[in-house]
Structure formats: structure tokens, C-alpha cells
Amino acid sequence: MGNSEEVVFQIILHGGNGKSSAMEAIAAAKKGDFATAREKIQEAGEALNQAHHIQTSLIQGEIRGEKNEISLLMVHAQDHLMNAIMIKDLAMEFVELYEYVTTSKDRV
């Protein structure tokens, strides 16, 4: 496996970890465990930041004239990362919504 493939797999790995943590946050919030939900959102953010840093380094390298092969694997990694970011953003909304509904119910 070439160096560029390893970098692409790192984007996929961190993106997948971020997506999984975001989904775990939703599951925790659904059960009313908001501390865990917030912790999982934090984990998702950290994983996605790692993937984003790798992506940024590829972009900066290209700006310096280092060409990256645009392979199906690279396209897949970018798609995977963008979907993971969207899921994390939605998970944040779900956690807030579950918390609002739960605390509103308790006030009635």
C-alpha cells in the first residue's frame, strides 16, 4: 500500500470513528443519559478533527504543487468524511432535542 493510500485510509478510519461516536451520542440521549451523549459528541468532534487535519494537509500539499492521485478510494474517503460531519451535526441537534423534551416533561 502506498503512502497516499495510507493517508486516505486514515481519513476513512477517523471519519468512521466520528460517525460511530455521533450515533452513540444519539442512543445515549434517547435513553436520557445526556452526560454520555455530550461525551460522545466530544469524541466525535475529536475524531473528525483528526480526519479534517489530514484532509487539510493534503490540500496544502496540493497548493504547494504536490499532486495527489484522485482515485475512487480518495473520493470515497471524502464522501465518508462529509457524511460523518453531517451526522455529527445532526447528532448535536438530536441530543439537544432529547434533552429539551425530557426536561420539559419533568417540568409539567
Amino acid at 35: A
Pick the catalytic residue: 14, 52, 53, 76?
76
Cα angle: 30, vertex 83, 22; to 5 degrees = 25
Is residue 76 annotated as part of the catalytic site, yes or no?
A: yes
Residue whose C-alpha cell is 495510507:
6
Measured in degrees and rounded to the nearest 5, phi and psi for residue 32 equal 90, 10
Angle at 81 between CA 80 and CA 84, to 5 degrees: 85
**Longest Cα–Cα distance in the chain:** 62
Catalytic residues: 76
